[in-house]
Amino acid sequence: MKHILKIIWNQKRNYYWIFMEQVLVTIILMLSAVSVLESYKKYKTPGMLNVENTFVVGYLSGNSATQEEMGNSLKSMNILLENMKKLPYVKTITRGFNLAPYQRDNELYASQVPSDSIRIDDKRFMAIYKFSDEFGASVLNVEMEEGTWFENRALPDGSLPVVITRQFASKAGWTTSVGKKIPFGSRFFTVTGVAAGLKQVPFEPSPIAIVIPSFAMGGMPFENMVKIETGMEREFIEAFSKEFQRLIPYESMEPFLNYMPSLKSMWTSQSVLSVILQGIPTLFLFIFAFIGTFGLYWMMSQKRMKEYALRIALGSTKSKLIGIVIGESLLITCMAILPALALSLFIYEYNAVHVIAVSITIFVMLLFAIVSAWYPAWKVSRVNPAEALQYE
């Protein structure tokens, strides 16, 4: 290695551009790897809600809707949902607000939905408010880490039963949360359960959230989720549309009926597409860098054929010649990795994702070094010393 380092150092001008190219490729590869793994990590965070065979239903009122129409529509919606419950393939209906996932991303949630500052002991943090009835957990198959979901009524002591997310409990610094009191104006919330999470979108972690019984909303809940039997989607859509036309015949009222697995796929596809779009330029850069590196090592090995032939004459074996060519490539790449490593120490806090991503980057770059020099190295090992050393 010392010998190869001497050769590289003494010919550093020849290796300058290849070194710079590899520094750039390593940095970009590292950034891409971190981005992809972070997305994957967010996907795997707990709190993915089960929306199989579930619709979110309701209606949208247009600008021309009168107060009377809006009032009647609200009452008619209640009747409509009661009628839907009677259908044999409708399993459960839950009514609330902000609990249904895949309607909006975390950023939009933060700007549009109710949230408030929570104060617990000396800690103060923001939490998103969600509302649900007693059926919310079963419709969405919420994973409960502690305690249970609530009944949709006040507790005997007058406090409101709530479910919090694990993220809320961690922020509050609680190891056990069931029974804990959270002050809310003149009242208290009492924690009955802790959910592993309530993710709004697949590739974002669960927010810090608190789920409150919908009876405490101070208005009619208007986000309705309906879980049906498998394979009955078409029947449900037809039945709902028919009932809507019958009960809410106003032109200013539009039904909405979203099949939640489709919404989930849409969000997933968007995120996957974003990752792919990030990956494509990286892949192209990688390919061009490979072509450049291969070409340069090829050219250099041809130029140095007499040197390699001389080494044979002095006692080198063919495998040692291969070792020199690949060794030079590996050493250049190792040196090119160093700036990327230094940069990563500045920009990353170094959790497991960063360690894995940087390790993958290093592995890929070392493989790149070997593969791009392999063929030139093999050609060098085929040198005929008698021919190459002939005086011209």
Partner 1 sequence: MIKIENITKIFRTKEVETTALDRINLQVAQGEFVSIMGPSGCGKSTLLNIMGLLDQPTEGALLINDTAVSGMKDKQLAHFRNQTLGFIFQSFHLIPALNVFDNVELPMLYGKNISTKEQRQRVLEVLEKVELSHRLKHFPTQLSGGQCQRVAIARALVSKPEVILADEPTGNLDSKMGIEILELLLTLNKEGTTIVMVTHDERIAQQTHRIVRLLDGKIQ
Contact residues toward partner 1 (CB under 8 A) are 3, 6-7, 10-11, 306-307, 310-318, 320, 384-386, 389-392
Closest separation between CB of residue 272 and partner 1, Å?
49
Find the distance separating the first CA and the last CA of the chain, reported in whole Å: 32
Closest CB to partner 1 among residues 227, 311? 311
Closest CB to partner 1 among residues 84, 309? 309
Angle at 38 between CA 32 and CA 40, to 5 degrees: 105
Is the separation of the CB atoms in 208 and 125 below 8 Å? yes
Collapsing DSSP states into helix, strand and coil, what is residue 207? coil
Is the separation of the CB atoms in 174 and 146 below 8 Å? no
- What is the residue type of 124? R
Closest CB to partner 1 among residues 14, 83? 14
Closest CB to partner 1 among residues 252, 316? 316
DSSP state of 214: G
Closest CB to partner 1 among residues 305, 371? 305
Task: Return d(Cα 355, Cα 364) in angstroms, integer.
Answer: 14
Closest CB to partner 1 among residues 234, 382? 382
Task: Return d(Cα 139, Cα 161) in angstroms, integer.
Answer: 19
Closest separation between CB of residue 24 and partner 1, Å?
26
Closest CB to partner 1 among residues 6, 124? 6
Closest CA to 208 of 191, 195, 193: 195
Closest separation between CB of residue 358 and partner 1, Å?
33
Closest CB to partner 1 among residues 314, 352? 314
Say if residue 201 is exposed, middle or buried (CB neighbours under 10 Å; 0-12, 13-18, 19+).
buried
Residue with tokens 């005929």: 384
Is the separation of the CB atoms in 260 and 57 below 8 Å? no
Closest separation between CB of residue 204 and partner 1, Å?
54
Is the separation of the CB atoms in 318 and 370 below 8 Å? no
Collapsing DSSP states into helix, strand and coil, what is residue 189? strand
Closest separation between CB of residue 385 and partner 1, Å?
5
Closest CB to partner 1 among residues 141, 390? 390
DSSP state of 150: P
Closest separation between CB of residue 8 and partner 1, Å?
8
Closest separation between CB of residue 383 and partner 1, Å?
11
Closest separation between CB of residue 197 and partner 1, Å?
60
For 135, 156, 195, 213, 214, the CA distances from 153, given in Å and listed in that order, are 13, 9, 19, 7, 9
DSSP state of 383: -
Closest separation between CB of residue 335 and partner 1, Å?
17
For 157, 284, 287, 343, the CA distances from 279, given in Å and listed in that order, are 56, 9, 12, 20
